[in-house]
């Protein structure tokens, strides 16, 4: 990396070219970006202040920050970034698959969707809830009932509700929306252009694999993507099993217009370097 320039005399033609290619990125204020708008999840960089993260995001070429509360939006927007995924309703274990929760969830959506719309924020997040012994079919019917109560508001306000798919094998035992097929069936039944799935590639690689085919076959129902190396949920580097560039290319080729947000927990001592590497890997 940087020691290349110190031992300049030893540089081969190839590493000179590499340095030349890297230089504009390192020096420039903002990358023009590839075909996909990339974003980063706030919680993975909790040791870094939001201002510092935004500055780094801007420098790297990222376009948004995921999972930020409305109190943080002014800071994010100050840097020309979009709060690309924001609180909608509920939490991972308790959400739409239980009718008892619906009243409260609808209230949260009635607060969060208009607020997002007013700030030009495109997405709110929500979940299925855990199974707790409930059959998947019953949970599906309950989620349909609940989401049907808020989809019109989302359509009117132009905000997309994203229900996240998560793994129930390693990180979120008992979570119901743990397979794409279940989520897609829910999307078909709710049938709103403003209700989509958050397809978390890390989680779905743990649960079902076949990433590119699944994305292609169900693209109309996928509103947002998250990343993370598998196994381990760390850097999207050569130590983990997915070829992120091929996946990002497949998504870009489909004409994806939403955000593609990095949600890995960096283990390197330079988390922002990891983030920049992930950006470059997925810049297609």
Which residue from 208, 218, 254, 277 is in contact with other proteins, where contact means CB under 8 A? 208
Tell me which stretch binds other proteins (CB under 8 A): 66-74, 148-156, 182-190, 243-251.
243-251
Sign of CA dihedral 18, 31, 239, 215: negative
Minimum distance from residue 257 beta carbon to other proteins (Å): 22
Cβ burial of 39 (10 Å; 0-12, 13-18, 19+) is buried
- 213 lies in the binding site for other proteins (CB under 8 A): yes
> Are the beta carbons of 125 and 159 closer than 8 angstroms?
no
The smaller minimum CB distance to other proteins, of residues 84 and 281, is found at 281
The smaller minimum CB distance to other proteins, of residues 61 and 229, is found at 229
- 84 lies in the binding site for other proteins (CB under 8 A): no
CA distances from 198 to 130, 135, 154, 163, 201 (A): 17, 22, 16, 6, 9
| HSE-up of residue 282 (Cα within 13 Å, Cβ side) | 32
> Are the beta carbons of 146 and 108 closer than 8 angstroms?
no
Compute the chain's Rg from CA coordinates. 20
What's the CA dihedral at 227, 268, 78, 116 to 10 degrees? 30
Minimum distance from residue 154 beta carbon to other proteins (Å): 31
Minimum distance from residue 263 beta carbon to other proteins (Å): 17
Neighbour count for residue 19 (Cβ, 10 Å): 16
Which residue from 67, 76, 82, 247 is in contact with other proteins, where contact means CB under 8 A? 247
User: Which residues, numbered 89-148, are part of the site for other proteins (CB under 8 A)?
Assistant: none
User: Which residues, numbered 143-202, are part of the site for other proteins (CB under 8 A)?
Assistant: 169-170
- Whole-angstrom Cα distance, residue 116 to residue 156? 12
Report residue 176: phi and psi, to 5°. Answer: -80, -45
The smaller minimum CB distance to other proteins, of residues 154 and 204, is found at 204
Which residue from 94, 245, 265, 284 is in contact with other proteins, where contact means CB under 8 A? 245
* Strand, helix or coil for residue 223: strand
Which residue from 184, 195, 207, 275 is in contact with other proteins, where contact means CB under 8 A? 207
Which residue from 3, 6, 32, 238 is in contact with other proteins, where contact means CB under 8 A? 238
Q: Which residues contact 109 (CB under 8 A, 6 or more apart)?
A: 88, 89, 124, 126, 150, 153, 154, 161
Tell me which stretch binds other proteins (CB under 8 A): 177-185, 210-218, 263-271, 272-280.
210-218
Which residue from 240, 256, 264, 278 is in contact with other proteins, where contact means CB under 8 A? 240
- 268 lies in the binding site for other proteins (CB under 8 A): no
Which residue from 30, 106, 119, 212 is in contact with other proteins, where contact means CB under 8 A? 212
- 204 lies in the binding site for other proteins (CB under 8 A): yes
Footprint on this chain of other proteins (rule: CB under 8 A): 169-170, 204-213, 230-231, 238-243, 245-247, 250
């Amino acid at each position: 990396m940087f020691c290349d320039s110190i031992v300049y005399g030893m540089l081969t033609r190839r590493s000179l070219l590499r340095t030349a290619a890297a230089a504009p990125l390192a020096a420039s204020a903002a990358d023009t970006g590839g075909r996909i708008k990339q974003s980063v999840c706030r919680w993975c960089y909790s040791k870094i202040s939001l201002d510092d993260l935004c500055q780094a995001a801007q420098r790297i070429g990222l376009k948004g920050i995921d999972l930020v509360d409305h109190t943080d939006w002014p800071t994010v927007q100050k840097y020309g970034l979009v709060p690309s995924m924001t609180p909608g309703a509920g939490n991972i274990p308790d959400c739409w698959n239980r009718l008892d929760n619906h009243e409260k969830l609808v209230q949260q959506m009635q607060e969060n969707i208009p607020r997002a719309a007013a700030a030009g924020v495109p997405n709110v997040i929500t979940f299925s809830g855990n199974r707790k012994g409930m059959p998947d079919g019953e949970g599906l019917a309950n989620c349909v009932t609940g989401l049907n109560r808020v989809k019109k508001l989302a359509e009117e306000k132009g905000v997309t509700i994203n229900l996240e798919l998560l793994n129930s094998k390693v990180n979120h035992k008992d979570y119901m929306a743990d397979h794409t097929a279940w989520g897609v069936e829910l999307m078909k039944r709710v049938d709103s252009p403003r209700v989509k799935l958050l397809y978390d590639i890390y989680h779905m690689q743990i649960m079902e694999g076949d990433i590119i085919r699944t994305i292609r076959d169900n693209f109309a129902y996928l509103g947002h993507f998250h990343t993370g190396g598998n196994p381990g949920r760390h850097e999207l580097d050569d130590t983990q099993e997915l070829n992120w560039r091929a996946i990002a290319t497949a998504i870009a080729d489909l004409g994806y217009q939403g955000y593609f947000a990095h949600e890995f927990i960096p283990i390197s001592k330079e988390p922002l370097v990891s983030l920049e590497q992930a950006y470059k890997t997925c810049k297609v």
